[in-house]
Each structure stands twice: as structure tokens, then as C-alpha cells.
Structure 1
Amino acid sequence: MNHRTLSACLAAALLLAAPIAQAGRARAADLPDPLDARAAVPPVSHESAFAGYRSAGEADVGSWREANEAVNRIGGWRAYAREASRPAPAAPGGAGAPVQPVPGGSIQPPPGTPVQPAPAEPAHSMPGHGAHRGALQ
């Protein structure tokens, strides 16, 4: 930016700022002096944040016996367990295949997923950490 452009921008900024400064001074003249102990001040008022609060009331949860009977009718806790064990739909493009539970409680990865065996012993890269192995065994 050359010198003339910079001067023009500064002049425009001053022309725009002058009316704003005048308005600020006019408002300040209308306000009482904060250092004058005898200055008139407006009365203090307070409105609680809870003035417009409306209670939602108690939720009707129904009878616990009816709830237990409804669970019994659909098959008890086993119905919820079946619902939870259903496989999730596959993501588009075949990515993110769900993990399937198998009998006995172990989890098997989806077919075709490479499985890497866990290392037999943790690798200790810091000197002096080999002594911890004996304490853990």
C-alpha cells in the first residue's frame, strides 16, 4: 500500500469516527458524575431469573406391576438380550463389519479380518524396567 492510499484510508476513518465520538460525548454529558455523592441515581430494581418459571410437574410412570407384566409378556430379560445381540447393519462400502458374539461368550472378529497374536512378553525399551517383570509374576 502506498503513502497516498494509506493517507486516504486514514482520512476516511477519521471522518467516520468523528460523529461517533460526538454522540458518545453527548451521552456522557447526560449521565450524572459517578464521583458526585449527591448525584441522582435511578432506583434499584431486581427481577428474579425464576419469575417466569413453570414446573413441568411429576411424570406419570405408571404401575411397576404393569411394567413387570409387560416385560414378562414380551419374553423377559431374554428379549432385551436378543435385541442387543442382533448384528448392526453393515456400513456402506463394507467397512466397519460388526463383531459377532459366539457361543461361550468370546468375541470373534468378522471373517477375513487379519488377527495378530499378542506378544508373549512386553518389550521394555527403557533401561532398568526389566526388574518390574519379576514383581508382576
Structure 2
Amino acid sequence: MDIRFISKPLVGLAVLWPVWANIAQAQTPAAAPPTNTQTQAEPAPFRSALENYQPYTDEKIAPWKAANEQVDRNGGWRTYAKEGRSPASPAAAPQADPHAGHTKP
């Protein structure tokens, strides 16, 4: 039997043995954490997400004639249109032209 056939794997095993030992040691779990001897806190009481649920109810709708008369008493549709153009509205503020400095070559 040829000794070289057996000796090469043995030499390789002897060379790599320290590497394998370090890897195996690194993978061993650490010591178990100390156990907690204190009592655990009581869990919070169950509260349903639906406990304050209010079912949908239809609103009382005024007759259309009464609604139109109320709009007339308030000043008509122009009064409601002016509310949309109030000076507090950001759309009513004058805006500078963002393309004012651009020129064609």
C-alpha cells in the first residue's frame, strides 16, 4: 500500500484541525441568560377597537324648496362663491410668474 495516499489527507486534517475547532467554538451558544425571579406584570385588559362604534344614521334632509329659500336669505349663490375667493385663500394671493426670467436663445 502506498503511504502517500493516506498521508496527504492526514496532513490536511492536521493543518485544518485548529481552524475547524475555532469555528465550532464560535458557534456554541453562550451561557443562558439569568432567569428573572420577579413576577411578571399583569397584562392590560382587553379593549375592543369597536367599543365606541356608532352605526351610520341618515341625516334629516330639508325639503329642497326650504333649502333654496335659505340660500336666497343668505344672499344667493354669489355669496357662497365669494367665500371661495376670500383674501385668506392662498389661491387669491398674486403669484409671480415662475417663467419670467426665461428667454429663448
TM-score between both structures, scaled by the size of structure 1: 0.32
TM-score between both structures, scaled by the size of structure 2: 0.39
Of the two, which has the highest radius of gyration? 2
